[in-house]
Protein backbone atom coordinates (compact mmCIF):
# COMPACT_ATOMS: atom_id res chain seq x y z
CA UNK A 1 0.00 0.00 0.00
CA UNK A 2 2.88 2.26 0.76
CA UNK A 3 4.26 1.14 -2.55
CA UNK A 4 1.03 2.08 -4.31
CA UNK A 5 1.02 5.44 -2.67
CA UNK A 6 4.60 6.08 -3.77
CA UNK A 7 3.86 5.14 -7.34
CA UNK A 8 0.86 7.41 -7.31
CA UNK A 9 2.99 10.22 -5.99
CA UNK A 10 5.60 9.67 -8.63
CA UNK A 11 3.04 9.58 -11.41
CA UNK A 12 1.54 12.76 -10.15
CA UNK A 13 4.95 14.33 -10.02
CA UNK A 14 6.08 13.16 -13.46
CA UNK A 15 7.88 15.87 -15.41
CA UNK A 16 8.60 15.98 -19.18
CA UNK A 17 11.10 13.24 -20.07
CA UNK A 18 14.73 13.92 -20.91
CA UNK A 19 15.50 13.13 -24.55
CA UNK A 20 18.89 11.63 -25.31
CA UNK A 21 19.90 11.15 -28.93
CA UNK A 22 22.97 9.96 -30.78
CA UNK A 23 22.03 10.65 -34.37
CA UNK A 24 20.75 7.11 -34.84
CA UNK A 25 18.14 6.87 -32.16
CA UNK A 26 16.60 8.83 -29.32
CA UNK A 27 15.47 7.55 -25.97
CA UNK A 28 13.22 9.12 -23.38
CA UNK A 29 14.41 9.10 -19.82
CA UNK A 30 11.66 9.60 -17.29
CA UNK A 31 12.03 12.48 -14.89
CA UNK A 32 10.29 13.27 -11.63
CA UNK A 33 9.45 16.75 -10.49
CA UNK A 34 11.02 18.04 -7.30
CA UNK A 35 11.00 21.37 -5.52
CA UNK A 36 14.30 22.20 -7.21
CA UNK A 37 13.51 20.98 -10.70
CA UNK A 38 13.27 17.62 -12.47
CA UNK A 39 15.26 14.62 -11.21
CA UNK A 40 16.09 11.40 -13.01
CA UNK A 41 17.58 8.01 -12.28
CA UNK A 42 21.30 7.96 -13.09
CA UNK A 43 21.20 4.38 -14.34
CA UNK A 44 18.35 5.20 -16.72
CA UNK A 45 20.95 6.80 -18.98
CA UNK A 46 22.59 3.40 -19.55
CA UNK A 47 20.95 2.67 -22.93
CA UNK A 48 22.70 5.71 -24.43
CA UNK A 49 25.86 6.14 -22.38
CA UNK A 50 28.38 3.68 -20.91
CA UNK A 51 27.41 4.82 -17.42
CA UNK A 52 28.61 3.00 -14.34
CA UNK A 53 27.21 4.03 -10.97
CA UNK A 54 29.33 2.94 -8.00
CA UNK A 55 27.94 3.17 -4.49
CA UNK A 56 31.18 4.09 -2.69
CA UNK A 57 29.98 4.51 0.88
CA UNK A 58 26.87 5.41 2.83
CA UNK A 59 25.94 8.46 0.81
CA UNK A 60 28.68 8.92 -1.79
CA UNK A 61 28.56 7.71 -5.35
CA UNK A 62 30.94 7.74 -8.28
CA UNK A 63 29.52 7.87 -11.78
CA UNK A 64 31.87 6.82 -14.56
CA UNK A 65 31.15 7.65 -18.18
CA UNK A 66 33.80 7.33 -20.87
CA UNK A 67 36.52 7.72 -18.33
CA UNK A 68 35.04 10.80 -16.68
CA UNK A 69 34.44 10.27 -12.95
CA UNK A 70 31.73 12.34 -11.37
CA UNK A 71 31.46 12.18 -7.59
CA UNK A 72 28.24 13.08 -5.88
CA UNK A 73 26.84 12.73 -2.40
CA UNK A 74 23.20 12.26 -1.59
CA UNK A 75 21.94 15.40 0.10
CA UNK A 76 24.80 17.60 -1.15
CA UNK A 77 24.05 19.90 -4.09
CA UNK A 78 27.36 19.67 -5.92
CA UNK A 79 29.32 17.34 -8.14
CA UNK A 80 33.06 16.85 -8.34
CA UNK A 81 34.67 16.00 -11.68
CA UNK A 82 38.40 15.59 -11.28
CA UNK A 83 39.60 18.80 -9.66
CA UNK A 84 36.52 20.73 -10.69
CA UNK A 85 33.44 21.29 -8.57
CA UNK A 86 30.08 22.22 -10.07
CA UNK A 87 27.01 23.35 -8.16
CA UNK A 88 23.82 21.39 -8.66
CA UNK A 89 20.30 22.78 -8.84
CA UNK A 90 19.20 20.06 -6.41
CA UNK A 91 21.00 17.60 -4.19
CA UNK A 92 21.13 14.02 -5.51
CA UNK A 93 18.81 11.67 -3.66
CA UNK A 94 18.45 7.93 -3.30
CA UNK A 95 15.09 6.42 -4.17
CA UNK A 96 14.60 2.69 -3.63
CA UNK A 97 18.37 2.26 -3.76
CA UNK A 98 18.62 4.18 -7.05
CA UNK A 99 20.68 7.34 -7.33
CA UNK A 100 18.60 10.26 -8.56
CA UNK A 101 20.28 13.25 -10.21
CA UNK A 102 18.95 16.70 -11.06
CA UNK A 103 18.29 17.17 -14.77
CA UNK A 104 20.46 20.29 -14.58
CA UNK A 105 23.49 18.05 -13.98
CA UNK A 106 22.84 16.42 -17.36
CA UNK A 107 22.24 19.69 -19.19
CA UNK A 108 25.01 21.77 -17.62
CA UNK A 109 27.68 19.55 -16.11
CA UNK A 110 27.75 16.66 -18.60
CA UNK A 111 28.70 18.80 -21.61
CA UNK A 112 31.78 20.13 -19.81
CA UNK A 113 32.74 17.10 -17.75
CA UNK A 114 31.69 14.07 -19.80
CA UNK A 115 33.34 13.41 -23.18
CA UNK A 116 31.21 13.09 -26.29
CA UNK A 117 28.16 14.83 -24.89
CA UNK A 118 26.56 18.08 -25.87
CA UNK A 119 23.42 19.81 -24.66
CA UNK A 120 21.31 21.06 -27.51
CA UNK A 121 19.61 24.12 -26.14
CA UNK A 122 17.11 24.52 -28.97
CA UNK A 123 15.75 20.99 -28.82
CA UNK A 124 16.42 20.61 -25.10
CA UNK A 125 18.11 17.24 -25.44
CA UNK A 126 21.36 15.57 -24.61
CA UNK A 127 23.30 14.74 -27.78
CA UNK A 128 25.75 11.85 -27.54
CA UNK A 129 28.45 11.63 -30.15
CA UNK A 130 30.17 8.31 -30.48
CA UNK A 131 27.67 5.74 -29.39
CA UNK A 132 27.02 4.48 -32.92
CA UNK A 133 30.37 2.72 -33.14
CA UNK A 134 31.27 1.87 -29.59
CA UNK A 135 33.85 -0.70 -30.67
CA UNK A 136 35.74 2.06 -32.39
CA UNK A 137 35.37 4.79 -29.84
CA UNK A 138 35.37 3.19 -26.44
CA UNK A 139 38.37 4.59 -24.63
CA UNK A 140 41.08 2.05 -24.09
CA UNK A 141 43.45 1.39 -21.25
CA UNK A 142 45.10 4.11 -19.21
CA UNK A 143 48.83 4.72 -19.01
CA UNK A 144 50.00 3.63 -22.40
CA UNK A 145 52.47 6.40 -23.00
CA UNK A 146 55.42 5.55 -20.85
CA UNK A 147 53.45 5.49 -17.63
CA UNK A 148 51.58 8.64 -18.43
CA UNK A 149 48.54 9.17 -16.30
CA UNK A 150 45.43 10.84 -17.59
CA UNK A 151 43.82 13.54 -15.46
CA UNK A 152 40.56 11.67 -15.48
CA UNK A 153 41.55 8.01 -15.44
CA UNK A 154 39.69 6.07 -18.07
CA UNK A 155 38.06 2.83 -17.02
CA UNK A 156 39.42 -0.31 -18.53
CA UNK A 157 36.40 -2.49 -18.91
CA UNK A 158 38.52 -5.62 -19.25
CA UNK A 159 40.51 -4.92 -16.12
CA UNK A 160 40.21 -7.56 -13.41
CA UNK A 161 38.13 -6.52 -10.43
CA UNK A 162 41.12 -6.79 -8.08
CA UNK A 163 42.77 -3.99 -10.03
CA UNK A 164 39.69 -1.89 -10.15
CA UNK A 165 40.81 1.12 -8.19
CA UNK A 166 38.13 3.32 -6.69
CA UNK A 167 40.82 5.53 -5.20
CA UNK A 168 40.81 9.25 -5.94
CA UNK A 169 42.31 10.18 -9.32
CA UNK A 170 46.07 10.53 -9.44
CA UNK A 171 47.01 14.22 -9.55
CA UNK A 172 47.92 15.64 -12.92
CA UNK A 173 51.52 15.00 -13.79
CA UNK A 174 51.27 14.87 -17.52
CA UNK A 175 49.00 16.25 -20.14
CA UNK A 176 45.69 14.65 -20.76
CA UNK A 177 45.45 14.16 -24.48
CA UNK A 178 42.16 14.80 -26.20
CA UNK A 179 41.95 14.98 -29.95
CA UNK A 180 38.86 16.17 -31.78
CA UNK A 181 38.27 14.23 -34.98
CA UNK A 182 36.04 15.97 -37.47
CA UNK A 183 34.57 14.17 -40.48
CA UNK A 184 33.89 16.86 -43.07
CA UNK A 185 30.36 17.48 -44.39
CA UNK A 186 27.47 15.04 -43.73
CA UNK A 187 23.70 14.83 -44.00
CA UNK A 188 22.35 16.95 -46.84
CA UNK A 189 25.86 18.26 -47.45
CA UNK A 190 27.56 15.58 -49.54
CA UNK A 191 30.73 17.56 -50.03
CA UNK A 192 32.42 16.82 -53.33
CA UNK A 193 31.33 14.02 -55.62
CA UNK A 194 33.53 12.29 -58.15
CA UNK A 195 35.42 11.12 -60.03
CA UNK A 196 35.15 13.39 -63.06
CA UNK A 197 35.71 10.79 -65.75
CA UNK A 198 33.73 7.77 -64.63
CA UNK A 199 34.51 5.12 -62.09
CA UNK A 200 32.54 4.26 -58.98
CA UNK A 201 30.81 7.35 -57.62
CA UNK A 202 32.02 8.66 -54.29
CA UNK A 203 30.62 11.19 -51.86
CA UNK A 204 33.07 13.12 -49.78
CA UNK A 205 30.92 12.84 -46.64
CA UNK A 206 31.16 9.01 -46.72
CA UNK A 207 34.92 8.95 -47.19
CA UNK A 208 35.53 11.52 -44.47
CA UNK A 209 33.36 9.63 -42.00
CA UNK A 210 35.11 6.33 -42.70
CA UNK A 211 38.57 7.85 -42.36
CA UNK A 212 37.59 9.87 -39.27
CA UNK A 213 36.28 6.76 -37.51
CA UNK A 214 39.47 4.92 -38.34
CA UNK A 215 41.58 7.84 -37.20
CA UNK A 216 39.69 7.92 -33.92
CA UNK A 217 40.24 4.20 -33.42
CA UNK A 218 43.94 4.59 -34.14
CA UNK A 219 44.24 7.43 -31.66
CA UNK A 220 42.26 5.56 -28.99
CA UNK A 221 44.66 2.68 -29.50
CA UNK A 222 47.49 5.08 -28.73
CA UNK A 223 45.91 6.09 -25.44
CA UNK A 224 44.35 9.35 -26.56
CA UNK A 225 40.85 10.51 -25.66
CA UNK A 226 38.92 11.00 -28.86
CA UNK A 227 35.90 13.21 -29.38
CA UNK A 228 34.06 13.02 -32.70
CA UNK A 229 32.08 15.89 -34.12
CA UNK A 230 29.91 13.33 -35.89
CA UNK A 231 29.77 9.54 -36.11
CA UNK A 232 26.80 9.28 -38.43
CA UNK A 233 25.60 10.79 -41.67
CA UNK A 234 24.39 14.02 -40.11
CA UNK A 235 25.05 17.67 -40.78
CA UNK A 236 26.87 19.49 -38.00
CA UNK A 237 27.10 23.25 -38.46
CA UNK A 238 30.65 24.39 -39.17
CA UNK A 239 30.72 26.64 -36.12
CA UNK A 240 29.31 23.88 -33.92
CA UNK A 241 32.22 21.62 -34.84
CA UNK A 242 34.58 24.11 -33.27
CA UNK A 243 32.34 24.57 -30.26
CA UNK A 244 32.28 20.82 -29.70
CA UNK A 245 36.06 20.91 -29.77
CA UNK A 246 36.27 23.75 -27.27
CA UNK A 247 33.81 22.18 -24.90
CA UNK A 248 35.81 18.98 -24.90
CA UNK A 249 38.91 21.01 -24.12
CA UNK A 250 40.78 19.30 -26.91
CA UNK A 251 44.51 19.47 -27.55
CA UNK A 252 44.15 19.19 -31.30
CA UNK A 253 41.45 19.48 -33.90
CA UNK A 254 41.80 17.45 -37.07
CA UNK A 255 39.28 17.86 -39.86
CA UNK A 256 39.21 15.30 -42.70
CA UNK A 257 38.20 16.27 -46.24
CA UNK A 258 38.44 15.16 -49.87
CA UNK A 259 39.71 17.54 -52.51
CA UNK A 260 38.13 18.41 -55.86
CA UNK A 261 39.84 19.79 -58.94
CA UNK A 262 38.77 23.10 -60.41
CA UNK A 263 37.13 22.26 -63.78
CA UNK A 264 38.93 25.25 -65.31
CA UNK A 265 42.34 23.75 -64.68
CA UNK A 266 44.34 22.57 -67.66
CA UNK A 267 44.01 18.93 -66.56
CA UNK A 268 41.38 18.73 -63.82
CA UNK A 269 41.01 14.96 -64.16
CA UNK A 270 44.72 14.48 -63.57
CA UNK A 271 44.96 16.51 -60.34
CA UNK A 272 46.11 14.30 -57.47
CA UNK A 273 47.76 14.55 -54.10
CA UNK A 274 47.25 15.46 -50.46
CA UNK A 275 47.56 18.73 -48.63
CA UNK A 276 47.09 20.01 -45.10
CA UNK A 277 45.72 23.40 -44.17
CA UNK A 278 45.91 25.47 -41.08
CA UNK A 279 43.92 28.59 -40.39
CA UNK A 280 45.00 31.87 -41.84
CA UNK A 281 44.01 34.16 -44.63
CA UNK A 282 44.02 32.26 -47.89
CA UNK A 283 47.39 32.93 -49.51
CA UNK A 284 46.99 31.66 -53.04
CA UNK A 285 44.28 31.28 -55.63
CA UNK A 286 44.32 27.54 -55.09
CA UNK A 287 43.97 27.92 -51.35
CA UNK A 288 41.04 30.27 -51.94
CA UNK A 289 39.43 27.62 -54.13
CA UNK A 290 39.62 25.03 -51.37
CA UNK A 291 38.55 27.58 -48.78
CA UNK A 292 35.42 28.49 -50.76
CA UNK A 293 34.64 24.82 -51.38
CA UNK A 294 34.87 23.81 -47.74
CA UNK A 295 33.14 26.92 -46.41
CA UNK A 296 30.25 26.39 -48.80
CA UNK A 297 28.74 23.95 -46.31
CA UNK A 298 27.38 27.00 -44.51
CA UNK A 299 24.61 27.19 -47.09
CA UNK A 300 23.17 23.93 -45.73
CA UNK A 301 22.86 25.27 -42.24
CA UNK A 302 19.56 26.60 -40.99
CA UNK A 303 20.84 29.80 -39.52
CA UNK A 304 24.41 30.48 -40.51
CA UNK A 305 25.99 33.04 -38.31
CA UNK A 306 26.80 36.34 -39.95
CA UNK A 307 29.86 36.50 -42.11
CA UNK A 308 31.47 39.78 -42.96
CA UNK A 309 31.68 39.37 -46.72
CA UNK A 310 34.31 42.05 -47.17
CA UNK A 311 36.83 40.80 -44.71
CA UNK A 312 35.62 37.58 -43.15
CA UNK A 313 38.91 36.94 -41.46
CA UNK A 314 39.78 40.26 -39.93
CA UNK A 315 38.08 39.39 -36.67
CA UNK A 316 39.70 36.01 -36.59
CA UNK A 317 43.21 37.21 -37.17
CA UNK A 318 42.88 39.82 -34.49
CA UNK A 319 41.72 37.14 -32.09
CA UNK A 320 44.72 36.31 -29.98
CA UNK A 321 43.30 33.03 -28.79
CA UNK A 322 43.45 31.65 -32.29
CA UNK A 323 46.58 33.50 -33.33
CA UNK A 324 48.65 31.90 -30.65
CA UNK A 325 47.89 28.53 -32.19
CA UNK A 326 48.90 29.41 -35.73
CA UNK A 327 52.50 28.35 -35.28
CA UNK A 328 51.50 25.13 -33.55
CA UNK A 329 48.91 24.44 -36.22
CA UNK A 330 51.40 24.93 -39.02
CA UNK A 331 53.86 22.60 -37.32
CA UNK A 332 51.17 19.94 -36.93
CA UNK A 333 50.21 20.40 -40.58
CA UNK A 334 53.84 19.94 -41.58
CA UNK A 335 54.22 16.70 -39.61
CA UNK A 336 50.99 15.34 -41.10
CA UNK A 337 52.22 16.09 -44.62
CA UNK A 338 55.51 14.30 -43.93
CA UNK A 339 53.73 11.31 -42.45
CA UNK A 340 51.22 11.01 -45.30
CA UNK A 341 54.12 11.30 -47.75
CA UNK A 342 55.41 7.94 -46.56
CA UNK A 343 52.32 6.05 -47.69
CA UNK A 344 50.35 8.19 -50.15
CA UNK A 345 50.92 7.59 -53.86
CA UNK A 346 49.87 11.11 -54.80
CA UNK A 347 52.24 14.06 -54.67
CA UNK A 348 52.49 16.17 -51.54
CA UNK A 349 50.86 19.50 -52.31
CA UNK A 350 52.31 20.88 -49.12
CA UNK A 351 51.16 22.80 -46.10
CA UNK A 352 48.76 25.58 -46.96
CA UNK A 353 46.88 28.35 -45.25
CA UNK A 354 43.25 29.26 -45.68
CA UNK A 355 40.38 30.68 -43.68
CA UNK A 356 38.32 27.63 -43.00
CA UNK A 357 35.31 28.37 -40.88
CA UNK A 358 35.50 24.93 -39.34
CA UNK A 359 38.88 25.87 -37.89
CA UNK A 360 37.87 29.36 -36.79
CA UNK A 361 35.92 28.42 -33.71
CA UNK A 362 38.32 25.74 -32.50
CA UNK A 363 40.62 27.47 -30.05
CA UNK A 364 43.41 24.93 -30.25
CA UNK A 365 45.90 23.86 -32.87
CA UNK A 366 43.67 22.91 -35.75
CA UNK A 367 44.26 21.51 -39.21
CA UNK A 368 42.22 20.41 -42.18
CA UNK A 369 43.57 17.48 -44.19
CA UNK A 370 42.59 16.99 -47.83
CA UNK A 371 43.42 13.29 -48.11
CA UNK A 372 43.24 13.14 -51.90
CA UNK A 373 41.35 14.20 -55.02
CA UNK A 374 37.99 12.54 -55.40
CA UNK A 375 37.86 13.96 -58.92
CA UNK A 376 40.70 11.65 -60.00
CA UNK A 377 39.52 8.07 -60.57
CA UNK A 378 42.72 6.46 -59.28
CA UNK A 379 42.84 8.57 -56.18
CA UNK A 380 39.08 8.16 -55.60
CA UNK A 381 39.66 4.39 -55.56
CA UNK A 382 42.62 4.84 -53.21
CA UNK A 383 40.71 6.85 -50.60
CA UNK A 384 37.70 4.53 -50.90
CA UNK A 385 39.69 1.40 -50.05
CA UNK A 386 39.22 0.38 -46.40
CA UNK A 387 42.84 -0.77 -46.21
CA UNK A 388 44.09 2.53 -47.56
CA UNK A 389 41.74 4.42 -45.26
CA UNK A 390 43.36 2.57 -42.37
CA UNK A 391 46.79 3.51 -43.66
CA UNK A 392 45.80 7.17 -44.06
CA UNK A 393 44.35 7.17 -40.55
CA UNK A 394 47.51 5.56 -39.14
CA UNK A 395 49.70 8.15 -40.87
CA UNK A 396 47.68 11.03 -39.45
CA UNK A 397 47.57 9.41 -35.99
CA UNK A 398 51.35 8.93 -36.04
CA UNK A 399 51.76 12.58 -36.93
CA UNK A 400 49.43 13.74 -34.17
CA UNK A 401 51.31 11.68 -31.57
CA UNK A 402 54.64 12.98 -32.81
CA UNK A 403 53.37 16.53 -32.61
CA UNK A 404 52.01 16.06 -29.07
CA UNK A 405 55.27 14.46 -27.92
CA UNK A 406 57.25 17.40 -29.28
CA UNK A 407 54.85 19.91 -27.81
CA UNK A 408 54.91 18.31 -24.37
CA UNK A 409 58.69 18.05 -24.47
CA UNK A 410 58.87 21.72 -25.29
CA UNK A 411 56.56 22.73 -22.48
CA UNK A 412 58.26 20.39 -19.99
CA UNK A 413 61.65 21.64 -21.18
CA UNK A 414 60.67 25.22 -20.49
CA UNK A 415 59.42 24.28 -17.05
CA UNK A 416 62.47 22.16 -16.23
CA UNK A 417 64.77 24.88 -17.54
CA UNK A 418 63.15 27.67 -15.58
CA UNK A 419 63.45 25.80 -12.29
CA UNK A 420 67.20 25.74 -11.62
CA UNK A 421 67.72 29.15 -13.19
CA UNK A 422 65.92 30.91 -10.36
ZN1 LIG B 1 35.34 19.06 -47.80
What share of the chain in percent tops pLDDT 70? 75
More confident residue, 109 or 235: 235
For residue 4, how far is its CA from the centre of ligand 1 (angstroms)? 58
For residue 118, how far is its CA from the centre of ligand 1 (angstroms)? 24
Q: Are strands 274-279 and 348-354 parallel, antiparallel or unpaired?
A: parallel
For residue 48, how far is its CA from the centre of ligand 1 (angstroms)? 30
For residue 259, how far is its CA from the centre of ligand 1 (angstroms)? 7
In 196-317, which ranges are E strands? 202-203, 225-228, 252-259, 274-279
Where residue 264 falls among pLDDT bands split at 50, 70, 90? confident
Q: Pick from 127-141, 164-178, 408-422 the range whose average pLDDT is largest.
A: 408-422
CB distance 95 to 101 below 8 Å: no
Average pLDDT over residues 250-278: 93
For residue 319, how far is its CA from the centre of ligand 1 (angstroms)? 25
For residue 335, how far is its CA from the centre of ligand 1 (angstroms)? 21
| Residues in contact with 385: Cβ distance below 8 Å, sequence separation at least 6, in sequence order | none
For residue 186, how far is its CA from the centre of ligand 1 (angstroms)? 10
More confident residue, 398 or 68: 398
pLDDT of res. 159:
32
Secondary structure of 123-173 as H, E, C letters: CCEEEECCCCCHHHHCCCCCCCCCCCCCCCCCCCCCCCHHHCCCCCCCCCC
pLDDT of res. 324:
64
Average pLDDT over residues 1-14: 48
Distance CA 178, CA 251 (A): 5
More confident residue, 145 or 250: 250
For residue 116, how far is its CA from the centre of ligand 1 (angstroms)? 23
Where residue 161 falls among pLDDT bands split at 50, 70, 90? very low
Phi/psi of residue 251, nearest 5 degrees: -90, -35
pLDDT of res. 121:
63
For residue 332, how far is its CA from the centre of ligand 1 (angstroms)? 19
For residue 262, how far is its CA from the centre of ligand 1 (angstroms)? 14
For residue 11, how far is its CA from the centre of ligand 1 (angstroms)? 50
DSSP symbol at 177? -
Partners of 279 in beta bridges? 354
For residue 192, how far is its CA from the centre of ligand 1 (angstroms)? 7
Q: How many helices (H) and strands (E) does the chain have?
A: 13, 20
Average pLDDT over residues 297-316: 54
Average pLDDT over residues 343-363: 85
For residue 341, how far is its CA from the centre of ligand 1 (angstroms)? 20
Residue 59 has pLDDT above 60, yes or no: yes
For residue 9, how far is its CA from the centre of ligand 1 (angstroms)? 54
CB distance 338 to 344 below 8 Å: no
Average pLDDT over residues 232-258: 90
For residue 180, how far is its CA from the centre of ligand 1 (angstroms)? 17
CB distance 334 to 396 below 8 Å: no
Residue 61 has pLDDT above 90, yes or no: yes
More confident residue, 195 or 199: 195
For residue 255, how far is its CA from the centre of ligand 1 (angstroms)? 9
For residue 304, how far is its CA from the centre of ligand 1 (angstroms)? 17
Residue 136 has pLDDT above 50, yes or no: no
Q: Give the CA count within 13 Å in the CB-facing half-sphere of 399.
A: 29
What share of the chain in percent tops pLDDT 90? 38
For residue 200, how far is its CA from the centre of ligand 1 (angstroms)? 19
Distance CA 36, CA 252 (A): 38
pLDDT of res. 167:
37
For residue 181, how far is its CA from the centre of ligand 1 (angstroms)? 14
Residue 398 has pLDDT above 80, yes or no: yes
Residue 313 has pLDDT above 90, yes or no: no
For residue 190, how far is its CA from the centre of ligand 1 (angstroms)? 9
For residue 206, how far is its CA from the centre of ligand 1 (angstroms)? 11
For residue 322, how far is its CA from the centre of ligand 1 (angstroms)? 22
Residue 24 has pLDDT above 90, yes or no: no
Distance CA 280, CA 366 (A): 11
DSSP string, 33-51: --TTS-EEEGGGGTTTS-E
For residue 189, how far is its CA from the centre of ligand 1 (angstroms)? 10
Where residue 306 falls among pLDDT bands split at 50, 70, 90? very low
With 0.75 as the threshold, say if the pTM is over it: no
Phi/psi of residue 364, nearest 5 degrees: -165, 165
CB distance 378 to 262 below 8 Å: no
Where residue 156 falls among pLDDT bands split at 50, 70, 90? very low
Is omega for the bond preceding 195 within 30 degrees of 0, making it cis? yes
For residue 209, how far is its CA from the centre of ligand 1 (angstroms)? 11
pLDDT of res. 102:
92
pLDDT of res. 183:
97
For residue 94, how far is its CA from the centre of ligand 1 (angstroms)? 49
Residue 8 has pLDDT above 50, yes or no: no
Asked whether the CA dihedral 178, 301, 103, 89 is positive or negative, the reply is positive
For residue 6, how far is its CA from the centre of ligand 1 (angstroms)? 55
Residues 329-350: tens digit of each pLDDT? 889 999 999 999 999 999 999 9
For residue 234, how far is its CA from the centre of ligand 1 (angstroms)? 14
More confident residue, 198 or 15: 198
Residue 179 has pLDDT above 90, yes or no: yes
For residue 293, how far is its CA from the centre of ligand 1 (angstroms)? 7
More confident residue, 159 or 175: 175
Of 278, 212, 244, nearest to 362 (Cα)?
A: 244
For residue 100, how far is its CA from the centre of ligand 1 (angstroms)? 44
Residue 44 has pLDDT above 70, yes or no: yes
For residue 392, how far is its CA from the centre of ligand 1 (angstroms)? 16
Secondary structure of 330-385 as H, E, C letters: HHHHHHHHHHHHCCCCCCEEEEEEECCHHHHCCCCCEEEEEEEECCCHHHHHHHHC
Residue 195 has pLDDT above 90, yes or no: yes
**First and final CA of the chain: distance in angstroms?**
74
More confident residue, 306 or 59: 59
Partners of 182 in beta bridges? 255
Residue 11 has pLDDT above 70, yes or no: no
More confident residue, 251 or 341: 341
How high is the mean pLDDT of the chain? 78
Residue 154 has pLDDT above 50, yes or no: no
Domains recognised in the chain with CATH numbers:
35-166 (3.30.457.10), 175-412 (3.40.630.40)
Amino acid sequence: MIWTALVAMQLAAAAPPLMVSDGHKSVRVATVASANGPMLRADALAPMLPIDVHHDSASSYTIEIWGARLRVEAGVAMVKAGDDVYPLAAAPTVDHGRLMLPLQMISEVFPVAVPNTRWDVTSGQLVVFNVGSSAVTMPRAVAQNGGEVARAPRPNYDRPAANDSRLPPVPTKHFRRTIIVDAGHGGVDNGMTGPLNGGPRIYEKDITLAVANRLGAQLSGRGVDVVYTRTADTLIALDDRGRIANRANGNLFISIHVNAANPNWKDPVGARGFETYFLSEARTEDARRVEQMENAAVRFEDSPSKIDRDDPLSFILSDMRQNEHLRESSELADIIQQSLGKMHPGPSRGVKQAGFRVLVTAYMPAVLVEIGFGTNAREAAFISSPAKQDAIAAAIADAAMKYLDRYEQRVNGVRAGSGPAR
